[in-house]
Structure 1
Amino acid sequence: MDWDKLRIFHAVADAGSLTHAGETLHLSQSAVSRQVRALEDSLDATLFHRHARGLILTEQGELLFEATRAMTKRLDAASARIRDSEDEVFGELRVTTTTGFGTLWLAPRLPQLYEKYPDLNVELMLEERVLDLPMREADVAIRMKEPSQADLIRKRLMSVEMRLYASADYLKSRGTPQTLEDIANHRLICQNPNAPQVAVSAALVQNLMGYSPKSTLTVNNYFGVLQGVINNLGIGILPDYVTHDFPDLVRVLPELENTEVPVFLAYPEELRHSRRIAAFRDFVQDEIIARRRAERSLEVQK
């Protein structure tokens, strides 16, 4: 099977349009169309349903697209390993993590990474869905539970506790709860208990809901919860790492116990020798060590 035709088919299937695929490949629409028709003739199969708004894959086209997508990911992996054989750290690094951790912890610290490796191009993929690292949907992941996928190198980075926080202005106007029962007099800001999240966090939300808060604001990520808290909307359930960059937050009901949530870094076995991965891993570890030192220093000052 002609790889060049497969490459063009893959671009068309990915774009859903002959015109857009041609722009990506720097080919005319007619040239792209001829290659697709030649591939269909060689396979004796129709790969696309054609209509006014674009192209839709047929069942046979879906099968072929799945195969070319896997081939493309393998080629990307091989290309990455070749690039990483160089002495310098450069090129694209796709990092996936949750929206909360990515926006509240990771992104604010990236200047230190870019300062050391200015030619590195980081693509942050922030979502609660667990991406398939062996299939190269991302290069490296930071997750709030140990990854279960096979063929991954994984390292536990730290532990996170979920706690209650509010702004000083909110507590001044509404009062500080002294017991869990006092939650009934406040607005609770939290992740939606039905949203994808760590079971420990969901259990804490369900527990507090049992005390019938006066009203609620539910958000599908912790960045939104934080925005609600710092804008004086109520008491929020947030990970403890936010206190480093938002020291004015006031912890509420500090005696409330919550199981620690482990944070893991993981990447595919085939990227074990990647200089980009090593650079990112070391950067994250250094930032965690710096965080711990800052916390210890703050405790001594208190």
Structure 2
Amino acid sequence: MDWDKLRIFHAVADAGSLTHAGDTLHLSQSAVSRQVRALEESLNTTLFHRHARGLILTEQGELLFDATKSMNKRLEAASARIRDSEEEVFGELRVTTTTGFGTLWLAPRLPKLYEQYPDLKIDLMLEERVLDLPMREADVAIRMKEPSQADLIRKRLMSVRMRLYASQEYLQKNGQINDIEEISNHRLICQSVNSIQVSAGSTLVQHLLTYDIPNLFTVNNYFGVLQGILSHIGVGVLPDYLTEDFPDLVRILPDLESGEVPVFLAYPEELRQSKRISAFRDFVQDEIFTHRKKIRLGEAD
């Protein structure tokens, strides 16, 4: 198929009009029409229904438009990677991480990244499923365990522990907790032990449940657990990276915490020279350094 004809077809399908497509392509309406007609003849099919109010894709036209959209997206991505060799940092960067870390720690810090690189476009994909970086489901990942996929560059960022927290209002109303045995007098807010989560968090929850806790409020991510705590519903299990941004959280039973959870940043070997990856990696590392410094100062106080 003629690439130029496909480009013109895509513009017409996207605009829904020969005239508007011509304006975009800097071609006359008749030139656009001739190219579309020639493409239809080469494919021996009709790509558009022609109406007084514009053009509507036929079923065959829809199939071709899906293909040209995919081609266009790949060409744009290739163009951005080629331009990555320049000094500028711009274009789309697809970042995947867990719902909790993405909503509660990463997203609130992204304005600083945009201040440095206003032309960078972040596509943040929050899910517990581990996306396949070598197959380019995402460009860079922040995960709560070391990635096992091959051909990845890995960088350990920090360690996290799961701890117990409550709101001051909840404790004033329901009493302080000075001993783990007293947890059975309170509602526990946590992820279900059967939900996808770090094993250290699940282990801590299972340990707490041995104390015959009569009332549970379970949520399938840490954002929901946090909202439950801030709404004074009970005592919740949360990762310790939240203490900087939510200073009203009161830690319960300071001697009780989960095992260490390593946090890794990873990206495909082929993107080693990407300036977008480098900018994001350096930004996250700087933010974590600042975060850990504030936590240490807070603990010293």
Q: TM-score normalised to the size of structure 1?
A: 0.77
Q: Which runs of structure 2 are paired with 1:235-254 in the superposition (5 Å)?
A: 235-254=235-254
Deviation for aligned residue 1:40? 9.3
Evaluate the alpha carbon distance shift between residue 6 and residue 218 of structure 1 in structure 2; reply closer, same or farther with a 3 A threshold.
Answer: farther
Q: Give the 3-state SS of the residue equivalent to 2:254 in structure 1.
A: coil
1:86 deviates by 1.9
State the Cα distance separating 1:169 from its structure 2 match: 0.9
Of stretches 76-85 and 101-110 in structure 1, the one that deviates more from structure 2 is 76-85
The Cα shift of 1:224 comes to 0.7
Are 1:155 and 2:155 counterparts? yes
- Supply the distance in 1 between the matched residues of 2:237 and 2:106 (Cα, whole angstroms): 19
Deviations 1:152-171 (A, max 9, x none): 11100000000000001111
Tell me, yes or no, if the aligned pair for 1:183 and 1:214 is still in contact at 8 Å. Answer: no
Q: Aligned ranges for residues 257-268 of structure 1 at < 5 Å?
A: 257-268=257-268
Q: Which runs of 5+ in 2 are unaligned?
A: 22-32, 46-57
In the alignment, structure 1 residue 285 sits paired with structure 2 residue 285: yes
Residue in structure 2 matched with residue 217 of structure 1 by the alignment: 217
Q: Please give the secondary structure, in 1, of the residue aligned with 2:247.
A: coil
SS in 2 for 1:253: strand
1:255 equivalent to 2:255? Answer: yes
Q: Tell me whether 1:202 sits opposite 2:182 in the alignment.
A: no
Matches within 5 A, 1:1-302: 78-301=78-301
Matches of 2:218 and 2:43, distance apart in 1: 50
CA contact (8 A) 1:191 1:221 kept: yes
CA-atom RMSD, angstroms? 3.5
Unpaired runs of at least 5, structure 1: 12-18, 43-54
1:97, CA displacement in angstroms? Answer: 0.7
Distance 2:98 2:255 in 1: 27
Distance 1:214 1:2, change over 3 A: farther
Q: Give, in angstroms, the shift of residue 39 of structure 1.
A: 10
Q: Give the whole-Å Cα distance in 2 for the aligned partners of 1:296 and 1:208.
A: 27
Q: Which SS does the other structure have where 2:244 is aligned? A: helix
- Of 173-182 and 263-272, more deviation after overlay is shown by 173-182
TM-score by length of 2: 0.77
Per-residue CA deviation, residues 210-252 of structure 1 (Å, 9 max, x unaligned), is 2221211111110110000011000000000100011111111
Q: Count how many residue pairs are aligned between Structure 1 and Structure 2.
A: 271
- Letter in structure 2 aligned against 1:153: I
